[in-house]
Amino acid sequence: MIILLVGMPGSGKGEVAKAFRRRGIPVISMGDAIREEAEKRGIPKTPEGLKYVSLKVREELGPGAVAILTIPKVRGIIKRKGIVVIEGVRSPAEVQEFRREFKNERVIILAIHSPPKVRFERLRRRGRSDDPKTWNEFLDRDKKELGFGIGEVMSLADYVILNNCTFNEFQRKIEKVVSKILSNWP
Amino acid sequence: MIILLVGMPGSGKGEVAKAFRRRGIPVISMGDAIREEAEKRGIPKTPEGLKYVSLKVREELGPGAVAILTIPKVRGIIKRKGIVVIEGVRSPAEVQEFRREFKNERVIILAIHSPPKVRFERLRRRGRSDDPKTWNEFLDRDKKELGFGIGEVMSLADYVILNNCTFNEFQRKIEKVVSKILSNWP
């Protein structure tokens, strides 16, 4: 089973990934594929370098490029474990690559939804170097993500967790949905 | 307050609209604007005629056209009642038209999410003349809706109701969210 984890910036994907890891389920990140590709090509892993690599691979392999780069690792984990969570899926083209490559696996989409105002407050508090400081910076980043087609992927999710509540309530919702998904496996 | 109701085909928007109507809150439909425009232009209100009108008005007024056509009616209701639900919003351009026109009103997005398989079964059972009969017809219709940008609107929703449960549970969720939204009004 392949679980594609999708959500806008600040929606709480990280907490969901942790819940799977706690149960011994491997989680891999689409972002890592870009970092490894930069390494391979000898391009510095600065924000600019990574941006260059992600544009370059899309030019070379099409809109599903990052999924294509991730496939060998996914194949290995599926062979050993039979299950994997993939974090950071962004476009319908990526979903299609996974569905095409893993025809005999169940591929499900798990979306995390959080209202824009809640995500903004969370990102502002988090304060990673690339996190937005103002509402306009936040809208710009959202727009960039939506440009990849993340909205389409979310609208077609098989499971949705609403992160519009306290941290503890969110954790309870995560446990409930993760249990439900795993109850169908193997 | 303006409540924009958005959801993929078969997600259960109609039930949510009913819940608002039961509380005496006016609900208007973006589809009606197209039907009225066809009437005005003397174009028959057949599926082909309506499709022609919706393409034509977008050509004339841009991607937010259907919202622009709806604005006079919304303005009237807001003046009399102070609150309205608008059903069938499809694109970020439409949301922007409402936000621009009604700067002093709270404009919120309420999304209804239901997993693709559940929506397909529901539409097949419903069997309106334009409802999909096969999985491929269903995917085609979804693709058309997503082409308008409905996924982007849903990803930016302020409230989401998950319709992945029994009818009674869905009704309870609707009541809860509708009460929460109305608790902020006036």
Find, in chain B, the residue whose alpha carbon is nearest to that of A113.
B155
Residue at A41 is within a domain? no
Does the pLDDT at position A70 exceed 90? yes
Determine the 3-state secondary structure of B172 from DSSP: helix
Closest partner residue to A158 (CB to CB) among B115, B151, B157 is B115
What whole-number distance in Å separates Cα of residue B106 and Cα of residue A95?
A: 35
pLDDT per residue as tens, chain B (186 positions)? 999 999 999 999 999 999 999 999 999 999 899 999 999 999 998 888 988 998 999 999 999 999 999 999 999 999 999 999 999 999 999 999 999 999 999 999 999 999 999 999 999 988 887 788 999 999 999 999 999 999 999 999 999 999 999 999 999 999 999 999 999 877
Give B7-39 pLDDT, tens digit per residue: 999 999 999 999 999 999 999 999 899 999 999
Residue at A47 is within a domain? no
Asked whether the beta carbons of residue A156 and residue B149 sit closer than 8 angstroms, the reply is no
Which chain B residues are closer than 8 Å to A155 by Cβ?
8, 113, 146, 150-151, 154-155
Residue at A66 is within a domain? no
Asked whether the beta carbons of residue B155 and residue A150 sit closer than 8 angstroms, the reply is yes
Q: How many domains does chain B have?
A: 1
What the block records as the tokens of B185 is: 């009004």
**Residue A11, annotated as binding a ligand:** yes
- Taking the CA of residue A183 and the nearest CA in chain B, the distance in Å comes to 16
Tell me which H or E stretch contains B176.
helix B167-183
Which chain A residues are closer than 8 Å to B8 by Cβ?
155
Least Cα distance to A141 among A150, A153, B6, A63 occurs for: A150
Cβ atoms < 10 Å from Cβ of B56: 16
- Taking the CA of residue A4 and the nearest CA in chain B, the distance in Å comes to 14
Give A6-41 pLDDT, tens digit per residue: 999 999 999 999 999 999 999 999 989 999 999 999
Which chain B residues are closer than 8 Å to A149 by Cβ?
151
What are the residue ranges of helices labelled H in chain A?
A: 13-22, 30-41, 47-61, 65-81, 92-101, 116-126, 135-148, 150-155, 167-183
Residue at B108 is within a domain? yes
**Residue B9, annotated as binding a ligand:** yes
Cβ-contact A4, A64 below 8 angstroms:
no
Give A118-133 pLDDT, tens digit per residue: 999 999 988 887 788 9
Residue at A88 is within a domain? yes
Q: Which of B8, B118, B152 to mutate to test the interface with A (most CBs of A within 10 A)?
A: B152
Closest partner residue to A8 (CB to CB) among B155, B158, B160 is B155
Q: What is the CATH number of the domain that holds A109?
A: 3.40.50.300
Residue at B176 is within a domain? yes
- Range(s) of the domain holding residue B9: 2-29+82-183
Closest partner residue to B8 (CB to CB) among A8, A155, A160 is A155
Q: For residue A47, what pLDDT band results from cuts at 50, 70 and 90? A: confident
- Taking the CA of residue A95 and the nearest CA in chain B, the distance in Å comes to 14
Cβ-contact B122, B164 below 8 angstroms:
no
Residue at A42 is within a domain? no
Residue at A74 is within a domain? no
Give A157-181 pLDDT, tens digit per residue: 999 999 999 999 999 999 999 999 9
